[in-house]
């Protein structure tokens, strides 16, 4: 069998693509090397140890149907629409070497007359005027006998949407975990008009096969195909799950405060695995009892508008005397946690 494989996903589902990447990586023989090319529709992909509430604007993402996908590799949060392409270079050790794969990407871009530079962090940048702008971010995974390097390529993404989903509402979060490193970004179609996924995929494959002096048939992969990827369905379910994407967030505390004309309120939420473990509400309003009830009832609730909102609705239904102020409190709290 050929030592070198080139796989191209025809799916735009981020959870499917991350699952395919994982299964191929785990099942491949360390004697083999693989280039996997894929892209996702409208997704924010966060690093293994990130807090989506700190990194992204979750409510805007929900409104616009933007998915959240947590990956297993470290690093920051990136936005991906179909104007962004991803590559993954996998190899056994000792062949696995991210300098080699980075150079293959740079060679591929040279084939398209694009002069790009690796900037020492994990970024690839191009010069625009006297500015260096990032168009690619990378992350890495290694096990005992193998490793992979995956990265993005901004070709013709919507950069306004990118900035909008990666700008969270300001919140007072006391949180551990990795924060993203914001950069000035650009699309490669600013450098080379008409560039797209097919053109870049072709160049990556040419540079990859050229480097290893290999010739292979490209293997295409899509959901529902009859390919030999044992365990894919379970891993796809895993990547699609709330427990992985939100629930794996490192513990954090959210402090919220607001002054209303009926009194001031301070709320402390301790969130573990995406659920409110502990809640404290302090108020100087004339009747603190509904807030005391709420502090009790939301313990164990998911840290999201739907579940917290349901507790607030129940509270309002049983405290008609305070309905006006509680409605006001509800709309503020809903906006503040998203
Ligand atoms: N799609 C995309 N490509 C390149 N840079 C981006 C992108 N989206 C946002 N950004 C910029 O990078 C920073 C975050 O940079 P930071 O260095 O913190 O994180 C990364 O680069 C992670 C790269 C992960 C690559 C994986 C490969 C397959 S799935 S995701 C963000 O704030 C923006 O300024």
Secondary structure of 143-184 as H, E, C letters: CCCEEEEEEEEECCCCHHHHHHHCCCCCCEEEECCCCCCCCC
303 and 257 in a common domain: yes
Distance in Å, CA 9 to ligand 1 centroid: 20
CA–CA gap between residue 20 and residue 22 (Å, rounded): 5
Distance in Å, CA 79 to ligand 1 centroid: 7
Domain end position, chosen among 245, 270, 300: 245
**Residue 338 confidence (pLDDT) above 90:** no
265 and 199 in a common domain: no
CB 126 near ligand 1, within 6 Å: no
Structural contact between residues 23 and 141, judged by C-beta atoms closer than 8 angstroms: no
The pLDDT, as a whole number, for residue 80 is: 98
The pLDDT, as a whole number, for residue 43 is: 98
Look at ligand 1, atom 19, and give the residue with the nearest C-alpha: 76
325 and 188 in a common domain: no
Distance in Å, CA 213 to ligand 1 centroid: 31
CB 105 near ligand 1, within 6 Å: no
Judged by DSSP in three states, 286 sits in coil
What are the backbone dihedrals phi and psi of residue 125, each rounded to the nearest 5 degrees, phi first? -130, 160
Split at pLDDT 50, 70, 90, the class of 171 is confident
We report the CATH number of the domain holding residue 73 as: 3.30.930.10
Q: What average pLDDT does range 113-127 have in this prediction?
A: 94
CA–CA gap between residue 320 and residue 161 (Å, rounded): 41
Q: Is residue 137 exposed (0-12), middle (13-18) or buried (19+ Cβ within 10 Å)?
A: buried
188 and 291 in a common domain: no
227 and 313 in a common domain: no
Q: What average pLDDT does range 115-126 have in this prediction?
A: 94
Judged by DSSP in three states, 3 sits in coil
Structural contact between residues 216 and 2, judged by C-beta atoms closer than 8 angstroms: yes
CB 295 near ligand 1, within 6 Å: no
CB 181 near ligand 1, within 6 Å: yes
Name residues whose C-beta falls within 8 Å of residue 177's C-beta, 6 or more positions apart in sequence: 49, 50, 51, 54, 249, 250, 252
We report the CATH number of the domain holding residue 282 as: 3.30.390.50
CA–CA gap between residue 79 and residue 52 (Å, rounded): 12
Distance in Å, CA 50 to ligand 1 centroid: 13
Structural contact between residues 208 and 6, judged by C-beta atoms closer than 8 angstroms: yes
172 and 279 in a common domain: no
Domain end position, chosen among 245, 267, 288: 245
285 and 154 in a common domain: no
Ligand 1 probe mutation, 56, 78, 141, 239, most atoms within 8 A of CB: 78
Helices within the chain (DSSP H only)? 14-27, 52-55, 58-63, 98-111, 159-165, 197-212, 232-240, 242-245, 289-297, 305-317, 323-337
CA–CA gap between residue 334 and residue 198 (Å, rounded): 43
pLDDT tens, 62-117?
999 999 999 999 999 999 999 999 999 999 999 999 999 999 999 999 999 999 99
Domain end position, chosen among 245, 260, 287: 245
Spell 304-324 as b/e; 16+ CB within 10 A means b: bbeebbebbeebbeebeebee
204 and 65 in a common domain: yes
**Four-CA torsion 317, 319, 320, 321, nearest 10 degrees:** -170
Name residues whose C-beta falls within 8 Å of residue 18's C-beta, 6 or more positions apart in sequence: 69, 71, 72, 239
What rounded mean pLDDT belongs to the chain? Answer: 95
CA–CA gap between residue 147 and residue 106 (Å, rounded): 20
The dihedral built from the CA positions of residue 224, 226, 229 and 230, taken in this order, carries a sign that is positive
CB 84 near ligand 1, within 6 Å: yes
Ligand 1 atom closest to residue 40's alpha carbon, by position in its atom list:
29
Judged by DSSP in three states, 222 sits in coil
37 and 12 in a common domain: yes
204 and 116 in a common domain: yes
CB 86 near ligand 1, within 6 Å: yes
Let me know the angle formed at the C-alpha of 184 by 181 and 185, rounded to the nearest 5 degrees: 105
Q: Which domain holds residue 16?
A: 4-245
**Residue 223 confidence (pLDDT) above 90:** no
300 and 182 in a common domain: no
CB 68 near ligand 1, within 6 Å: no
Ligand 1 probe mutation, 152, 239, 245, most atoms within 8 A of CB: 152
Q: What average pLDDT does range 134-159 have in this prediction?
A: 98
CA–CA gap between residue 249 and residue 316 (Å, rounded): 30
109 and 231 in a common domain: yes
Q: How many domains is the chain built from?
A: 2
Complex ipTM: 0.99
Distance in Å, CA 310 to ligand 1 centroid: 35
- Total count of residues recorded for the chain: 338
CB 27 near ligand 1, within 6 Å: no
Helix (DSSP H) and strand (DSSP E) numbers for the chain: 11, 15
């Amino acid at each position: 069998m050929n030592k070198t494989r080139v796989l191209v996903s025809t799916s735009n589902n981020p959870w499917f693509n991350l699952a395919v990447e994982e299964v191929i990586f785990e099942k491949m023989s360390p004697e083999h090397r693989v280039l996997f090319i894929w892209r996702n529709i409208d997704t924010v992909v966060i690093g293994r140890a990130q807090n989506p509430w700190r990194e992204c604007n979750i409510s805007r993402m929900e409104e616009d149907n933007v998915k959240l996908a947590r990956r297993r590799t470290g690093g920051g949060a990136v936005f991906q629409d179909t104007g962004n392409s991803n590559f993954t270079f996998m190899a056994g050790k000792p062949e696995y070497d991210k300098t080699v794969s980075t150079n293959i990407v740079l060679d591929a871009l040279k084939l398209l007359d694009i002069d790009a530079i690796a900037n020492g962090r994990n970024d690839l940048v191009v010069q625009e005027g006297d500015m260096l702008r990032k168009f690619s971010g990378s992350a890495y995974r290694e096990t005992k006998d193998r490793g992979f390097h995956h990265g993005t390529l901004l070709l013709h993404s919507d950069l306004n949407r990118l900035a909008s989903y990666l700008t969270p509402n300001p919140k007072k979060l006391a949180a551990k975990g990795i924060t993203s490193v914001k950069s000035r970004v650009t699309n490669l179609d600013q450098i080379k008009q008409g560039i797209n996924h097919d053109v870049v995929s072709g160049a990556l494959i040419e540079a990859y096969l050229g480097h290893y002096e290999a010739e292979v048939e490209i293997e295409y992969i899509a959901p529902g195909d009859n390919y030999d990827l044992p365990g894919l369905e379970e891993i796809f379910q895993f990547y699609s799950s709330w427990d992985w994407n939100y629930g794996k967030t490192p513990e954090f505390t959210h402090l919220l405060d607001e002054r209303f004309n009926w009194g001031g309120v301070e709320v402390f939420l301790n969130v573990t695995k995406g659920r409110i473990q502990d809640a404290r509400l302090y108020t100087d309003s004339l009747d603190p009892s509904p807030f005391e009830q709420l502090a009790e009832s939301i313990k164990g609730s998911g840290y999201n508008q739907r579940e917290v909102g349901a507790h607030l609705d129940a509270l309002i239904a049983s405290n008609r005397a305070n309905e006006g102020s509680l409605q006001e409190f509800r709309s503020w709290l809903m906006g503040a946690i998203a």
